[in-house]
């Protein structure tokens, strides 16, 4: 890569090309070349590159600190701004005095946020005292908003994350995000609640204790519903709900998430909403609660996630293809009417063990997992240290794990949406269905969670040794896998 060309054209490059070029500079340790360009005619662009390298440039910046400190006194405000960013990313603690001196002499208002954020990264008592006493200096509204946002973000870094203690009113509506609303609805009804279906959510009200909802497992997240608002009125809406959030959680540090919009629209909404709230503190790196906004046209639904859910605390490790534990719990709830309380249960695509651990909440005789991926088996064994049950895990190809028979097989089948993966899946699925009847006892149960619906249904028909007891579709983040509950004939 020609580093000079990269630096000169950096501001015009697409994000992906910038990322790739930065990676090349970091791997090749070409920071010296970039610094030399900064000392020539490409000062702004070169310093921007080094600023975007973040902490990856730490060792180089520390060993060349004097050069970067000189840039704090350059005549170009953007050069000073980038220099503050670089020092903040790499060695703010060591050069806090220089950063404070520079911001006190800075006369260009758009540069102030970079100094404030850099000072915040010093993470010292002196930095905290300075930020606490800092008075906003910008006159223009746009610059003042950016200065205040930077000050708030810098101060937020000193907030220690506290766990919310949720207190709700009986009139509050709790929404359960469900991979299958019918399954969640049934579990709520069985628990004596009065659930209602609201799209992909299940609504529950009348709870005297919010934590009672965590006694149920067949959902992914539980939210307190804050209401709906026109998108244009979201900042005012959140400002009005601020006190309600504080009363229900007792904490101030939050993160704002906006879904179903483009990245730029998301950033714009977050900026406006954050500036409207005066008591809650936006601390995206150390937050206690999450406020989630879902957009549908010009309307927005607003939810509060108190982040107090410990239902799946056993899962300390996962792998890339791991099933969400709330989805695994819903699969088990869906099939539970057919579970044998004395079953020997096998998951021979066990991954990190999530499906087995959720099956372990129902009566059983034994739990066994197998996987061809050693990393997955190690993760499953690690999770066993924190779980309520302790399955036996084996590092072995499922097609060779055929010596014993089991009363139940419950699996998250491999999936791949690309053509190559699908072809491999077809071979694997065919081989798997050839051994599945032989590893099940008479009238044994098979619960298959899979994205390969057409392939699975064709193999069930062709195999001829299974009766389909139940089948349903789940929602898994925009994908729609199915669950098949089969009985060996």
pLDDT in tens, 316-337: 999 988 899 999 999 999 999 9
Is residue 82 a contact partner of residue 37, using CB atoms and an 8 Å limit? no
pLDDT score of 441: 97
Q: Which domains are seen in the chain, by residue range?
A: 3-156 (1.25.10.10), 173-305 (3.30.2130.30), 325-488 (3.40.50.150)
Strands 440-450 vs 392-395: parallel, antiparallel or unpaired: unpaired
Is residue 436 a contact partner of residue 349, using CB atoms and an 8 Å limit? no
Most confident of 26-40, 268-282, 435-449: 435-449
Strands 201-205 vs 196-198: parallel, antiparallel or unpaired: antiparallel
DSSP category for residue 191: T
The per-residue pLDDT for range 338-396, each reduced to its tens digit, is 999 999 999 999 999 999 999 999 999 999 999 999 999 999 999 999 999 999 999 99
Confidence of residue 302 (pLDDT cuts 50, 70, 90): very high
Choose among 177, 195, 174, 222: nearest CA to 477. 177
Query: Which range is least confidently modeled, 52-61, 138-147, 169-178, 403-412?
Result: 138-147
Contacts of 459 (CB under 8 A, 6+ apart): 429, 430, 433
Structure tokens at 486: 């089969």
Report, as an integer, the average pLDDT of 127-154. 90
Residue 96 CA to residue 130 CA, distance in Å, equals 10
Choose among 180, 164, 171: nearest CA to 288. 164
pLDDT score of 419: 39
Distance of CA 217 to the CA centre of its chain: 19
The per-residue pLDDT for range 219-260, each reduced to its tens digit, is 999 999 999 999 999 999 999 999 999 999 999 999 999 988
Is residue 108 a contact partner of residue 82, using CB atoms and an 8 Å limit? no
Check whether 172 has a pLDDT greater than 60: yes
Report, as an integer, the average pLDDT of 144-149. 88
Confidence of residue 41 (pLDDT cuts 50, 70, 90): confident
Is residue 228 a contact partner of residue 199, using CB atoms and an 8 Å limit? no
The per-residue pLDDT for range 160-170, each reduced to its tens digit, is 778 999 999 98
Most confident of 22-26, 341-345, 416-420, 425-429: 341-345
The structure's pTM equals 0.75
Strands 406-412 vs 466-473: parallel, antiparallel or unpaired: unpaired
pLDDT score of 415: 80
The per-residue pLDDT for range 471-488, each reduced to its tens digit, is 999 998 778 999 999 999
Residue 109 CA to residue 100 CA, distance in Å, equals 15
Report, as an integer, the average pLDDT of 203-210. 95
| Percent of the chain whose pLDDT exceeds 70 | 99
pLDDT score of 416: 61
pLDDT score of 323: 94
> What burial letters (b/e) apply to 91-125, b meaning 16+ CB within 10 Å?
bbeebbebbbebbeebeebbbbbbbbbbbbbbeee
Check whether 70 has a pLDDT greater than 70: yes
Residue 406 CA to residue 68 CA, distance in Å, equals 67
DSSP category for residue 479: B
Check whether 418 has a pLDDT greater than 90: no
DSSP calls for 114-173: HHHHHHHTT-SHHHHHHHHH------SHHHHHHHHHHHHHHHHTTPPP--------TTPE
Is residue 298 a contact partner of residue 230, using CB atoms and an 8 Å limit? yes
Q: Residues in the chain, how many? A: 489
Check whether 420 has a pLDDT greater than 60: no
Q: What are the start-end ranges of the E strands in 136-288?
A: 173-177, 196-198, 201-205, 221-230, 253-259, 281-282
Is residue 480 a contact partner of residue 473, using CB atoms and an 8 Å limit? yes
Report, as an integer, the average pLDDT of 134-140. 90
| Percent of the chain whose pLDDT exceeds 90 | 83
Average pLDDT, whole number, for the chain? 93
Check whether 217 has a pLDDT greater than 80: yes
Report, as an integer, the average pLDDT of 101-106. 95
């Amino acid at each position: 890569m020609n580093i000079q060309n990269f630096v000169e054209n950096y501001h015009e490059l697409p994000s992906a090309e910038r990322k790739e070029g930065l990676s090349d500079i970091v791997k090749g340790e070409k920071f010296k070349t970039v610094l030399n360009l900064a000392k020539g005619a490409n000062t702004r662009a070169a310093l921007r590159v080094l600023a975007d390298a973040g902490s990856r440039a730490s060792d180089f910046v520390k060993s060349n600190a004097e050069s970067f400190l000189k840039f704090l006194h350059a005549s170009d405000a953007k050069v000073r701004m980038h220099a503050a960013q670089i020092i903040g990313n790499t060695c703010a603690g060591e050069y806090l005095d220089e950063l404070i001196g520079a911001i006190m002499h800075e006369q260009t208002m758009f540069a102030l946020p970079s100094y404030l954020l850099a000072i915040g990264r010093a993470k010292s008592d002196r930095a905290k005292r300075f930020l606490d006493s800092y008075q906003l200096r910008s006159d223009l509204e746009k610059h003042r908003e950016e200065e205040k946002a930077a000050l708030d973000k810098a101060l937020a870094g000193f907030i220690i994350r506290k766990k919310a203690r949720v207190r709700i009113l009986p009139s509050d509506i709790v929404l359960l995000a469900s991979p299958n609303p019918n399954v969640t609805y049934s579990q709520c009804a069985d628990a004596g609640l009065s659930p209602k279906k609201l799209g992909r959510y299940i609504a529950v009200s009348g709870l005297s204790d919010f934590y009672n909802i965590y006694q149920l497992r067949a959902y992914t997240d539980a939210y307190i519903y804050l209401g709906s608002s026109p998108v244009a009125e979201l900042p005012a809406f959140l400002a009005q709900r601020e006190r309600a959030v504080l009363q229900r959680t007792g904490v101030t540090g939050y993160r704002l998430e906006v879904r179903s919009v483009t990245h730029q629209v998301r950033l714009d909404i977050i900026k406006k909403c954050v500036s409207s709230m005066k008591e809650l503190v936006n601390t995206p790196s150390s937050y206690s609660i999450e406020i989630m906004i879902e957009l549908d046209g010009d309307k927005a639904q607003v939810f509060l996630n108190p982040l107090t859910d410990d239902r799946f605390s056993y899962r300390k490790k996962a792998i890339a293809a791991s099933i969400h534990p709330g989805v695994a719990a819903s699969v088990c709830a869906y099939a539970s009417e057919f579970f044998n309380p004395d079953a020997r249960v096998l998951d021979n695509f066990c991954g990190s063990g999530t499906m087995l651990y959720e099956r372990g909440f129902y009566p059983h005789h034994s739990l066994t997992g197998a996987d061809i991926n050693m990393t997955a088996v190690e993760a499953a064994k690690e999770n066993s240290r924190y779980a309520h049950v302790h399955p036996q895990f084996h590092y072995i190809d499922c097609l060779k794990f055929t010596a014993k028979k089991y009363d139940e097989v419950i699996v998250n089948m491999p999936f791949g949406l690309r053509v190559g993966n699908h072809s491999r899946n077809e071979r694997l699925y065919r081989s798997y269905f050839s051994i599945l009847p032989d590893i099940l006892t008479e009238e044994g149960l098979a619960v298959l969670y899979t994205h390969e619906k057409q392939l699975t249904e064709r193999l069930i028909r062709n195999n001829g040794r299974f009766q389909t007891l139940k089948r349903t579709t789940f929602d898994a983040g925009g994908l729609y896998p199915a669950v098949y509950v089969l009985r060996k004939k």
